[in-house]
Structure 1
Amino acid sequence: MTIIRRSGAVAALLLTTGLVQAAGDADRGATIVMQGDGQGGAPCLACHGTDGAGNDAAGFPRLAGLDAGYLAAQLRDYRDGRRNSPVMAPNAAHLSDQQIADVAAYYALQTTRLMPAEQPADLLVRGEKLVKQGDWDNYIVPCESCHGTGAQGVGATFPALSGQHPTYLRQQLEAWKNGTRSNDPNQLMLAIAARLSDEQIQAVSAYLSQQPTQGSKP
């Protein structure tokens, strides 16, 4: 009986701390993606497309193939005010945890054709060095040290950066640098981005946009 009570207490603690997340249903997520949530939230496809390709010119990120746990965490942060966006906040405002899990499950399963814009060769060289080697003279660690080999992502905490649109990457690095985004674990990105120059932000964003990703077709 003691074991049962302890198990129940642990389960209650996990539920109250949000560590137990609802399993997502991609089919239900597809309905929200294509039709909206029925409470005023726009269909996700309006900005991100049914395949999660996003839109570089508009700054809408690629969602295809990203970890479902990461996508769900970001949607909850938009909904609950931990991450700011005049576009996403009203569209996430009425989503339940289950709906968020469903949308995340849907986009995690998608693939999209990778067609990155050409970037100057010297910019790509500088970006590759930052991604793979960092800039230790300025206490900037390599992107791969957290985001994994090839910046393919590590679980729900460190998202895949490879194949992401350069405009979105640049916007987010700038947001961390100026403190308008702060929903990263232990404020790791706040500390790193604060040390990046504008030229380094441009270089790393350009390089990462050229790399293949699990959510892309060749």
Structure 2
Amino acid sequence: MKKLVFFASALAISAFSAQADMPPQAAACVACHQTTGLGMPNLAPSIAGMPAAYLATQLKHFQTDERQNAIMKPMAMMLDEAGIQATSEWFASLTLPQPTQPAFRGEKNPQEITDLGEKLAYLGDWERDLPSCVACHGPEGVGVGDSFPHLAGQHADYIESQLKAWQAGTRAGDVNGIMGVMAKKLTAEEITAVAQYFANVEAK
């Protein structure tokens, strides 16, 4: 019982600390993305620890309708340039659990990969000019730079919804339009499989 009380207290202190440092512009964001920035399945994606430049770009895309979302559009429109910067930097400062020993391409035996999602993530399908996801998003989808966000541990429903958004043309603005091209080559089964694969990457 004492351990449970201590653990609950630690979580409360952590949440309070995060709220204390939170800029006022981010107050509306945490209703869905939470003070941890880890979001909630079927509601909001994890954005904790993402590069501030990436987050700022996405907010601007919501403002300009390069990304179309009925909830995020009005939220983004409430922010001016300073608000976008402050909000992005705060979420970027939050801790994002990541795989401790991500497997790089070449470290996995292609013959041993049987899961459809893992195949797409690590091998792609070159017969369809479909490169692997990790070629851009990094080993196990840990994210690379300001343009390729983390996928490891991201909510499966969010990954799936974004791939479908690129297919439908309701999301754009990615580097050289790569994701729009790649998403259109995926079947519904493949989208679900790759989303489930990255969502279940073990992070610590």
Q: 2:196 aligns with which of 206, 209, 212?
A: 206
Q: CA deviation at 1:44?
A: 0.5
Deviation of 1:27 (Å)? 7.5
1:180: how far off? 1.7
Consecutive unaligned residues in structure 1, runs of 5 or more: 1-25, 35-42, 115-123
TM-score using structure 1 length: 0.73
> Which residue of structure 2 lines up, in the alignment, with residue 31 of structure 1?
24
Cα distance, 1:125 vs structure 2 = 1.7
Instruction: Report how many aligned residue pairs link the two structures.
Output: 172
Cross-structure match for 2:125: 135
TM-score, reference length from structure 2:
0.78
Deviations 1:49-96 (A, max 9, x none): 0111111122x1111111111111101111232211110000111311
1:45 to 30, 49, 62: 30
Match of 1:98 in 2: 82
Could you say if the C-alpha distance between residues 210 and 144 of structure 1 is closer, same or farther in structure 2, counting changes exceeding 3 Å? same
Show the counterpart of 1:55.
40
Give me the whole-angstrom Cα distance separating, in 2, the residues matched to 1:109 and 1:212.
Answer: 21
Q: Distance in 2 between matches of 1:170 and 1:186?
A: 21
Letter in 2 for 1:65: G
Give 4+ residue runs of structure 1 displaced > 4 Å after superposition.
26-29
Residue of structure 1 in register with 2:3 after alignment: none
Gaps of 5+ in 2: 1-18, 99-113
Map 1:133-212 → 2, pairs under 5 A: 133-212=123-202
Aligned to 1:86: 70
